[in-house]
Structure 1
């Protein structure tokens, strides 16, 4: 397949309109239609369906669209790597850092280290939820992500265990502070604000509660870290957070926190990357910096001899 035709095809799908795509690509519409027809002939599949509102990809078209994005991205990176050969590492690297986790604390040290060691590398940092980050890595739209999870095998992804964080009960000053550590059974008497059930923290909390026959009294489900902090500051109830985020909430509001025991609950933090797409040279360099930063954190799971070899979850 011709790379130029793949570029045209991706742009047509992105825009959803042949005429507009032709304008953006500075190609006459008949010529663009001919390129599309040639591509469909090469793959022996209909790729687009024409409608009064524009064009939409067929199932085969969506498959090619996903592959074409990866192919074009790798070609772009190959050009960058070749231009940079012998001139130091340069290029763009995208890193996802799950908010409300120890990963968020890596942002500034990562930026500082990258600027110092590899000034030619442009970092794109994305702080969003783990499920979204893992999908971006799986689709080849993000190089690396540090997120909670990795305990289960996920097709298309590989995880490097980094550390485990204990979970804490966090409450406002208007509610008497409980003993530290606090038995898990004590949360049964409190109004809880927790993330949705698909969230890793919520999953381990639900599993631990089920293990002791406890049904937590969840009064609202909140994903936003800032909103959870506001809930605690307003004295509306309590929440359960990883140690790193619990510390931030306590420092920014009048609150208390206590580590949960009987049983103790922990969540795993892992470095996620594709199991089939090779890292570019800049991305490999950033990955190495990330591992070095994690080694400095207490309780990390990386040995001094760990060279960062990925392990399947």
Structure 2
């Protein structure tokens, strides 16, 4: 039985007239009369007695009116509970964000969005070095992660969100003009500071140098982004990082940023989730928010990378 018929029945009783109820519901009187007739057929009882002064409830009609009020009130409560159910999601969600990636820009917007939309969820954001984030996702220590790479890795699912192009960030004493394209071959013997070997940025850089047959002059491994930025600003050495990420390093006027060409160095940034076990309800809710944020991030970073790489991209 449709709730619409119960609502119409209640309106007839409340207004005391089929004509007034039809006006209130903004439907034709014959249509409303048909709904009433359908209810009486369904219950096999006369529900209303029509008279010159309006309608009068029968005993059966009085019983239905009482139950209909309860039914519709419970239905309204159900709609209300469902509509706000996202706010009742609660629990802890651990997410890893790859250091030296543009994904680090997601941390603060994600905190704000989860606080606003999922106040019952407590985030644990990891953005330091250590064990590979994909392994932490697979073994359940992280619910999901934003990492470099696109798999395949057994036990993990990857959803690519953008491609990061790398660039050279170096002291002005290196001799290149701001924005001037440089090749990997030109970077031979240039003192470099890079993340540890287990970081995807480091792996992508080493792979490019190896394939090009160019020696990499690595003078130190640096885990701290602050230390790396300060070292480049102080003229100690150069580094290679995602192009758009260079905007976040607070570089001084004595530092240049140059697109790397012939070959370009790039890496895919993906959202990594477990392949075998479904996400918990709060983790799934956070993942959905994260995907929305990554779409916005990708659009803004595309423009930033274009500004840095410019016409020199091949």
TM-score (normalizing by structure 2): 0.63
Contact 2:87-2:118 within 8 A present in 1 as well: no
Alpha carbons of 1:195 and 1:244: their partners in 2 closer, same or farther (altered >3 Å)? same
Instruction: Give the superposition deviation at 1:131.
Output: 4.1
Unaligned runs of 5+ in 2: 1-83, 302-314
Q: Assess, with a 3 A threshold, how the Cα gap between structure 1 residues 103 and 298 changes in structure 2: closer, same or farther.
A: closer
Structure 1 partner of 2:212: 212
Aligned match of 1:129: 129
Change (3 A) 1:153 1:86: closer
CA RMSD of aligned residues (A): 2.4
1:268 CA drift (Å): 1.0
- 1:275-296, CA deviations, whole angstroms, 9 ceiling, x for partnerless residues? 1121111110110111101111
Q: Which residue of 1 aligns with 2:143?
A: 143
* SS of equivalent residue, structure 1 residue 113: helix
- Which whole-Å deviations, capped at 9, do the CAs of 1:163-187 have from their partners, x for residues lacking one? 1111010012343334522222111
Give the whole-Å Cα distance in 2 for the aligned partners of 1:300 and 1:247.
12
Report deviation, 1:88: 2.2
Largest Rg, 1 or 2: 2
Q: Determine if contact 2:148/2:268 at 8 Å carries over to the other structure.
A: yes
- What corresponds to 1:173 in structure 2? 172
* Bigger shift: residues 201-210 or 272-281: 201-210
Residues 21-60 of structure 1: pairs in structure 2 closer than 5 A:
none
For residues 252 and 294 of structure 1, do their structure 2 counterparts lie closer, same or farther at Cα, with a shift above 3 Å needed? farther
Q: Post-superposition shift, 1:253?
A: 7.0
Can you list the C-alpha shifts for 1:211-268, whole angstroms capped at 9, x where unaligned?
2221112122222212211211221111111123322225467421111111111111
1:119 positional shift: 1.2
SS at match of 2:188: helix
**Contact 2:196–2:223 under 8 Å retained in 1:** yes
Q: Distance in 2 between matches of 1:300 and 1:246?
A: 14
Match of 2:201 in 1: 201
| CA 103–259 in structure 1, closer or farther in 2 if over 3 Å, else same | same
Residue 166 of structure 2 aligns to a residue whose secondary structure is strand
Identify the residue that residue 294 of structure 1 maps to in structure 2: 294
* Structure 2: distance between partners of 1:110 and 1:269: 17
- TM (normalized to structure 1)? 0.64
Give the whole-Å Cα distance in 1 for the aligned partners of 2:244 and 2:85: 40
Cα distance in structure 2, aligned partners of 1:298 and 1:133: 21
Change (3 A) 1:281 1:217: same
- 1:101–1:245 contact (8 Å) kept in structure 2: yes
Give every structure 1 segment of 4 or more consecutive aligned residues whose post-TM-superposition deviation is greater than 4 Å: 84-87
Q: Which residue of 1 aligns with 2:256?
A: 256
3-state secondary structure, aligned to 2:196: coil
Unaligned segments of structure 1, at least 5 residues: 1-83, 302-313
Q: Is 2:229–2:251's contact at 8 Å kept on the other side of the alignment?
A: no
Distance 1:86 1:143 in 2: 19
Shift of 1:195: 2.3
